[in-house]
Amino acid sequence: MARSISILGSGWLGLALAEHFVNQNYTVKASTRSENRFAEIRKIGAEPFKIDIEKLSTNLAKFLQSELLIVNITSKDLVAYQELIQAIEESPVKYVLFVSSTSVYENNNAFVKEDDGDEDLKSILYRIENLFRFNIHFKTAVIRFAGLVGYSRHPGKWFANKPVSQPDAPINLIHRDDCIGIIDAVIKQGAWDEVFNGCSSEHPTKREFYTHARQLLNLPAPEFLEDEEPDFKIVSNEKVIKELSYNFIYPDLLAYKEF
């Protein structure tokens, strides 16, 4: 099992992820696009690097001196990823964990699973996933996370000044603690060459959930746009539970009073 990890992207999820692995005695490098965040990264015990994949610099080779790379950035620049992958091929990296999104699935008004072929083939993100998945120089795992909640991302704040569309559609969300838990499970169990969905088990309606989230902040329910045609998907987490034996910390976000 890899004991050195480079994390490309140390934002809201990446920084917490870096701290998680530092606390488990991994050697961790963490990237940011701003040197202003170096002190924050050093504070948790990781080594900071300034990396922007759309403007790759000479320090990338040193950043990639790890057995495992976690790619956790929002860029959709296909050419930049191709250049990044070329650098990975020339590095000691043996494993790549690519943090993706359930937005790669088309809305089908039903459940979407990893192996059912429900992806939007025109999705740039899906094409980026495949750049990693089908590379023969390293092993890859892809985790498609649903909407991210927890800590500073309180869902009760999301619709302060705008109405909620399709109030009777189901939600697909996941708490940051479960994101870290699933990533940890994939790495420690060596679940490479796989795609996993990361989403909480329960899917209350937007009406139920966002009313609840606003109540937790002592705020009125948001405005809802009624009478819209259904256009949704329900993200299945069956595979991550069965294949990784993962037990969700927050299986039903409607049941919790804190995020």
Beta pairing class for 95-101 and 111-112:
unpaired
pLDDT of residue 57: 85
Q: What is the pLDDT of residue 1?
A: 61
What does the pLDDT average to over 249-255? 96
What is the distance, to the nearest Å, from the Cα of residue 3 to the centroid of all Cα atoms in its chain?
21
* Angle subtended at Cα 196 by Cα 193 and Cα 78, rounded to the nearest 5 degrees: 70
For the residues 54-76, what does the mean pLDDT come to? 95
Q: pLDDT at position 227, please?
A: 77
User: In the prediction, which pLDDT does 161 show?
Assistant: 81
> How far apart (Å, rounded) are the C-alpha atoms in residues 122 and 203?
27
Q: Does 253 have pLDDT greater than 80? A: yes
Range 127-147 average pLDDT: 98
Average confidence (pLDDT) over 235-243: 99
pLDDT computed for residue 81 by the predictor: 98
- Model confidence, pTM: 0.96
Q: Write the CB contacts of 18 (distance below 8 Å, at least 6 apart in sequence).
A: 7, 10, 28, 30, 41, 44, 46
Q: Which domains does the chain have, with CATH numbers?
A: 4-150+174-201+233-242 (3.40.50.720)
Q: pLDDT band at residue 228, thresholds of 50, 70 and 90?
A: confident
Strand partners, 158: none
Question: What percentage of residues in the chain have a pLDDT greater than 90?
Answer: 90
- First and final C-alpha spacing in the chain: 32
Q: Which string of b and e fits 235-251 if b means at least 16 CB within 10 Å? A: bbbebbeeebebebebe
pLDDT(162) > 90: no
pLDDT in tens, 169-209: 999 999 999 999 999 999 999 999 999 999 999 999 999 99
Residue 225 pLDDT class (50, 70, 90 cuts): very high
Confidence of residue 230 (pLDDT cuts 50, 70, 90): confident
Q: Would you state the pLDDT for residue 256? A: 84
* pLDDT value at residue 138: 99
Q: pLDDT at position 65, please?
A: 98
Rounded average pLDDT over 80-94: 98
